[in-house]
Amino acid sequence: MKMEVDWTELPAELIEAISKKLKFYSDYIRFQRVCRNWRLSIPKTPNHLPPQLPWLMLPQSQSQSQSQTHCAFFNLSANKVHLLNLPEASLRSRHCGSSHGWVIILDETPAILLLNPLTRVKIHLPPLSSFLNVVSFSYFDIGREYTVASYLPAGAGDRYNCSLRQMRDSFIKKIVLSSSPVDKDYNFFAVAILNQTADLAYCRNGDQCWTLIEGMQSYSEDVIYHKGSFYAVDKAGLITVCDVAGDKDKPRVSIIQTPPQFGGDMQYLVGSEDELLLVTRYLDLEFDFEPHQPQLVYRTTRFEVFKLNWCGPQWERMRSLGDTALFIGQNSSLALSASDFPGCRADCIYYTDDYSESNYDDVYGEHDLGIFKLEDGSIEPLPCYPRYSHFRLRWPPPLWVIPNPC
């Protein structure tokens, strides 16, 4: 006699054990929606999930019909756009990074905000006015609210004034986190690359101000958190390792002397399992024939990828990434196994525009982003972002963001 099984009545411990085998956030959501018993048997927030395939946070355009309180995110796996209510990420704000699923937001105030787009949880970092080279700040000095020193320490160089908007747009290049701010009882670190002084500064959760990392020898192009330390790279591929978790007052800094890597226009660091990769981006000038008049713009032409050989040490050229896909831009650089995610291509670099200030603030033209195939050097547009579309864009430019439900 055949007996039917009532799957809704499975034991709670078995349901939870099955849920922990799921790797994708979308599958976990579907699992929760099977029935009330399954939903109540598993945690509302899945803390076991590995890093997810990033969504592309899209800029707003004048043609968008939705409220300016909403942001659009393109999901590569599902090939669809999600609209999320994020009034904090309005057109008056700037995104100076995304890290572990959190977007770092600046607006026309001194505040630096961490925002999780999925949970809408917000955490404040120390404000812009707390950096060592910010001499003074006052809302009453309209149009010149900040006084900033051109060199550190603050008394060593010339001083200049910045407006709220200028400070928002140009003071910080990028901010990277050591971990998700809700992990390990909010015990996390943040490192900022400063545009004007070419310095790195850091803070830990609970700090009231940013602390300069001393011992940096050159301008930092990019920074990542890898194997317990922050790694920064300069234009020539020189690596600086910063251990900010040890001595609270003075981080330990060491230099990895590698032969110079000249020729590229931008450098990125990527941690790929135990490997440290250097991605060199090459740009070229070309005319963008938009509807009103041609504009001379930068556009990416190719990438080169290197792996750090610690015996030397030296950078070794990689001709293939194998099953790996890289995601670079204003985000914390990321490496993923492409075969784990539908819609993700192996041996490719997914890149966004993180350099062209001329592409911001209501100008015609397109952002420089696409998919670079390392095998043959070809570039394809992203499905949601056809090249040469000539629609009017507003900043902030597109940004890779890992969907993080925690």
Residue 169 parent element (H or E): helix 164-170
pLDDT band at 36; cut points 50, 70, 90 = confident
pLDDT at residue 152 in the model: 64
Of 88-92, 108-112, 157-161, the poorest mean pLDDT is in 88-92
pLDDT at residue 395 in the model: 64
297: its two tokens: 């713009």
3-state secondary structure of 303: strand
pLDDT at residue 391 in the model: 44
pLDDT at residue 392 in the model: 46
**Mean pLDDT over all residues of the chain?**
85
pLDDT at residue 42 in the model: 86
pLDDT at residue 217 in the model: 62
Average pLDDT over residues 309-324: 94
Q: Which H, E and C letters describe 198-248, residue by residue?
A: CCEEEEECCCCCCEECCCCCCCCCEEEEECCEEEEECCCCCEEEEECCCCC
pLDDT at residue 155 in the model: 54
Geometric angle at alpha carbon 221, from 215 and 222, rounded to 5°: 90
User: What are the C-alpha distances in Å from 267 to residues 53, 102, 385?
Assistant: 22, 23, 24
Specify whether the CB–CB gap between 205 and 178 falls below 8 A: no
3-state secondary structure of 328: strand
Which residue bears the tokens 């990895």?
Answer: 256
Query: 53: which DSSP letter?
Result: P
Tell whether the model's pLDDT for residue 233 goes beyond 80.
yes
pLDDT band at 153; cut points 50, 70, 90 = low
Q: What's the start-to-end Cα distance of the chain, in Å? A: 46
Higher confidence at residue 289 or residue 121?
Answer: 121
User: What are the C-alpha distances in Å from 175 to residues 102, 126, 132, 370, 387?
Assistant: 11, 12, 16, 23, 28
pLDDT at residue 387 in the model: 58
Average pLDDT over residues 235-257: 86
Tell whether the model's pLDDT for residue 261 goes beyond 80.
yes
Higher confidence at residue 99 or residue 153?
Answer: 99
pLDDT at residue 92 in the model: 76
For 243, other C-beta atoms within 10 Å of its C-beta total 13
Higher confidence at residue 152 or residue 238?
Answer: 238
**pLDDT, tens digit, for every residue of 81-103?**
888 888 888 767 899 999 999 99
Specify whether the CB–CB gap between 323 and 391 falls below 8 A: no
Of 123-127, 182-186, 326-330, 365-369, the poorest mean pLDDT is in 182-186
pLDDT at residue 359 in the model: 44
Specify whether the CB–CB gap between 31 and 48 falls below 8 A: no
Of 133-147, 187-201, 228-242, the poorest mean pLDDT is in 187-201
Residue 229 CA from chain centroid, whole number: 17
pLDDT band at 130; cut points 50, 70, 90 = very high
Q: What span, in angstroms and rounded, lies between the C-alpha atoms of 231 and 197?
A: 18
pLDDT at residue 303 in the model: 97
Sheet holding 314-318, edge to edge: 266-272, 275-289, 294-309, 314-318
Residue ranges per structural domain of the chain: 1-49, 50-401
Output the CA torsion sign for 270, 272, 274, 277: negative
CATH number for domain 50-401, candidates 3.30.1180, 2.130.10, 2.20.25, 2.120.10: 2.120.10
